[in-house]
Chain A
């Protein structure tokens, strides 16, 4: 039994392959077979051209912090120990944006447009979270 106290993602039919790749410390996104756009969050069709043909492809894990906030209150008891913590909108070099944490530096050192790279955190035997650290 894990003593991990924070919420554990509940993958959907669409996102299962994303979380399976993360488990293997790989960041994979769907790439549209018609227009080559990468997309996130996972979805059955391309958000640019609506094609339903795609492949799960590894991406570089290189990114920048588009914007961020610093939580000073825990709205879930699992985050109490971590205060203050950073939640960021991460823009991957391949284009899509996702929410994640910036780790490996102090919250006050985080800046918009700061280069970051993916870092995987195994939270249970079955689940790994992609996070980002200064590159």
Chain B
């Protein structure tokens, strides 16, 4: 099959109110995101013939593409809900492109949103299980923290390195009016934040947020006549450490390595060609490991790489320019795509990466095993 490079484009992005939105349901957040994305694209719901959603919510309610389509009043030619945790975001765009290529549909809405801040979620550790809860292993922080412990042991990575990531994201958030975290953060503040699960401080961990975001994908051909300057999908990658984070070197080498290699090969680019990175930062460590696995630096050199302002605006690789999930808002990677698109359209005002032409976006999840990558250009 011929390469799909540049054959598909993102023509609309949008999000709901972010942060704490107690007045809206999860579906309410999602339809508001869809409205914003349709408006951004200059389309109506009748121009959309496919809906892809994320199949899980943090709460008890499960959102499926049918439920969202029902609320939007759309009969779809193609509808599916995906479950790859935080890798679902970029994977939705890839499945959208593949579905259009296969002739299933023409224009696809990719949507995810949740009420992580104001929903009362069921308590962790309730119900049965084995090989984890009985030893007190709870939550995503613990699972991801094993990787940082091992990375520190093998490569001498330090908390100063993690702090550099947290501080960079906070500085960027202060240039983004919709970001939740606007207070100053110094490296000292990072070190003083309480332990959640050593080696993770509070400020190593992403936010819990209400919010939804939507991304509209169609063919580059159709995109030419639309309202926005299209943002083309140059490269797509995906790979899963499905044997588990516990297996082999999976906790220090993420699915990002293979996923990134696929995306760069398809795009015909190397890390040197990337102007901005929007990386899945559920935890500081995952951002650093992803940059290593993508080849921005060698494995083990991620700590020094993220230090000294290199990933800040004005640095060599401005990363998570919206503040990321650490300081803007957590919608499981959806806002990473939104920010990448906006950077490539030149819409980011004080946090705009000058002359940004290429962006790499990542998703990572499913108990730290699933990974997906997009390389976009304007």
What per-residue 1/0 map shows which CB atoms of A101-135 lie under 8 Å from chain B? 10000010001110000000001000001010000
Q: How far apart sit A12 and B150, CA to CA, in the bound complex (Å)?
A: 31
Residues of A within 8 A of B145 (CB): 69
Tell whether A75 pairs with B247 under 8 Å between CB atoms, given A9-B134, A101-B136, A113-B153: no
Tell whether A76 pairs with B125 under 8 Å between CB atoms, given A69-B199, A99-B131, A112-B150: yes
Q: How far apart sit A85 and B125, CA to CA, in the bound complex (Å)?
A: 16
Residues of B within 8 A of A2 (CB): none
Nearest-Cβ distance from residue B19 to partner chain A, whole angstroms: 23
Q: How far apart sit A48 and B71, CA to CA, in the bound complex (Å)?
A: 46
Nearest-Cβ distance from residue A47 to partner chain B, whole angstroms: 8
What per-residue 1/0 map shows which CB atoms of A31-44 lie under 8 Å from chain B? 00000000001000
- Smallest CB-CB separation from A11: which chain B residue? B130
Residues of A within 8 A of B196 (CB): 72-73
Tell whether A72 pairs with B124 under 8 Å between CB atoms, given A98-B131, A113-B153: no
Q: How far apart sit A55 and B137, CA to CA, in the bound complex (Å)?
A: 29
Nearest-Cβ distance from residue B42 to partner chain A, whole angstroms: 46
The A-B contact count (CB < 8 A) is: 100
Tell whether A75 pairs with B135 under 8 Å between CB atoms, given A69-B197, A89-B146, A112-B150: no
Residues of B within 8 A of A7 (CB): 125, 129, 133-134
Residues of B within 8 A of A112 (CB): 149-150, 153-154
Nearest-Cβ distance from residue A130 to partner chain B, whole angstroms: 10
Is B136 a contact of A82 with CB atoms below 8 Å? yes
Nearest-Cβ distance from residue B145 to partner chain A, whole angstroms: 4
Is B130 a contact of A10 with CB atoms below 8 Å? yes
Tell whether A70 pairs with B134 under 8 Å between CB atoms, given A76-B124, A97-B247, A112-B149: no
Interface centre among B130, B131, B247, by most chain A C-beta atoms within 10 angstroms, is B130
Q: How far apart sit A121 and B147, CA to CA, in the bound complex (Å)?
A: 27
User: What's the tally of chain A residues with a CB closer than 8 Å to chain B?
Assistant: 40
Residues of B within 8 A of A97 (CB): 246-247
- Smallest CB-CB separation from B201: which chain A residue? A72
A53 within 8 A of B: no
A59 within 8 A of B: no
B251 within 8 A of A: yes
Is A75 a contact of B138 with CB atoms below 8 Å? yes
Is A76 a contact of B133 with CB atoms below 8 Å? yes
Residues of A within 8 A of B149 (CB): 67-69, 112
Q: How far apart sit A112 and B131, CA to CA, in the bound complex (Å)?
A: 20
Is A6 a contact of B134 with CB atoms below 8 Å? yes
Residues of A within 8 A of B146 (CB): 67-69, 89
Nearest-Cβ distance from residue B135 to partner chain A, whole angstroms: 5
B349 within 8 A of A: no
- Smallest CB-CB separation from B152: which chain A residue? A112
Nearest-Cβ distance from residue A22 to partner chain B, whole angstroms: 11
- B residues touching A (Cβ–Cβ < 8 Å)? 124-125, 128-139, 142, 145-147, 149-150, 153-154, 194-200, 243, 246-247, 251
Which 4 A-B pairs rank lowest in CB-CB distance, beginning with the nearest? A10-B128, A75-B138, A70-B198, A112-B153
A-B contact pairs, 23 of them (CB 8 A): A9-B131, A9-B133, A10-B130, A15-B130, A41-B131, A66-B150, A67-B251, A69-B146, A69-B198, A69-B199, A70-B198, A71-B136, A75-B136, A76-B124, A79-B136, A82-B136, A87-B135, A87-B142, A99-B132, A99-B135, A101-B135, A101-B136, A107-B198
